[in-house]
Amino acid sequence: MHKFIPYVIKSLWRHRARTLLTVSGTAVALLVFCFIGAVQQGLLALTSGDDAGRTLIVFQENRFCPQSSRLPQDYASDIKKLAGVTDVVPIKVFTNNCRASLDAIVFQGMEPEKLKAWRDFDLQSGDWASFSKQDDAALVGVDVANRRGLNVGDKFTIGDVTVVVRGVFQSPTAAENNLILTQLEFLQRARGASDVGTVTQLEVHLNDTVDPEALAKQIDQAFHAGPVGTTTRTKGMFQADTLADLAELIGFVHWLGYACVGLVLSLVATTTVMAVQDRIKEHAVLQTLGLRPLRVFGLVLTESLLLSTLGGVLGVGGSVLLLSLTGMSVAAEGVTIAFEPSLTLALQGVLVAVVVGVIAGIAPGWQASRTEIVSALRHA
């Protein structure tokens, strides 16, 4: 079959406008498909994994937006005494927008020693010493830095919070590349407030022997009669609950991904049917020259496969390039979902294009292979 590839390519190029429109339409549909897959992967990364199940988040009871949660910081010392707790990290969170936003800025303030111990990141520029010695210093995630054009030494202001960039970091957790990390006390005093002694949430790290759900109930019972009630969940459950409305929307958009696949199938199949109709006499001539019906079927199937695969590769490549360069994300209530491209997603997109190309070519190929030679030669 490979010796007929030049013939197939010439056939496609003969109607180049139709071919280019089909390939471009397929590319756009597969680009949207990969964007949807990237959002779903980002959401899944937040709500699954060992860290999501072995870390607890303590939040103020009946509070949602980070600005409304005010926990006493000394709760951390009480929680650390509980059996099974390895460490407790007090965190102050500030965001410029609690609603769903594609450009929300999320600050997390932590004590430097806790930050270094419990956050896995690699400084791309700047140095740790400069950050730890300066009160208003910040470490900026690489995606935020790229979107905002920030470099080491720059001052950055948003929502009455002004920081000096002392480092740009990259984290293996894609969502953390959209954070700005500061010192805890600085964020407690920012915006003219005096919130020293209060934090937004407590991050509780557990050993492998403790039951996270049982310990969460124990923490909430311990502070039930205290000055501030708490709601404690695993990190994965906390993020899932925080993003519940957004997750429903993402779940609905999932069907849009299937619609994109259906669009590609319809587009490629229609183009292939038109190509077969245009070359009825040509296929009859090929059969009179000794080409078997199965070979004609293969030629049409190859044409459909080339159209779909070429568009799929362009769409997948475009989506990976765009997502990698922009570092897009969506945030709600201080929790960020990164649009996360991956090799698995790229391969999935190409595979979808290949499968759709094969399916789209079956009916037109069967039609071409069943053509009656005499009636086809009489075809105008």
Strands 106-110 and 85-95: what pairing?
A: antiparallel
Q: Residues 363, 24, 337, CA angle at the centre, nearest 5°?
A: 105
Neighbours of 131 (CB within 10 A): 23
Between helices 5-14 and 16-47, what is the axis angle to 10°? 100
One digit per residue, the tens of pLDDT, for the chain of length 380 reads 556 677 667 777 777 888 888 999 999 999 999 989 998 888 888 877 667 788 999 999 988 888 889 999 999 999 999 999 999 999 999 988 877 777 788 999 999 999 999 999 999 999 999 999 999 999 999 999 998 999 999 999 987 899 999 999 999 888 899 999 999 999 998 876 678 899 999 999 999 889 999 999 999 999 988 899 999 999 988 888 888 777 787 788 888 888 999 999 999 999 888 877 766 666 556 666 666 777 778 788 888 898 999 999 999 999 999 888 887 888 878 888 888 788 899 999 999 999 999 999 898 888 777 766 555 455 54
- The domain limits of the chain are 2-46+245-377, 62-228
pTM over 0.85: no
Q: Which residues contact 277 (CB under 8 A, 6 or more apart)?
A: none
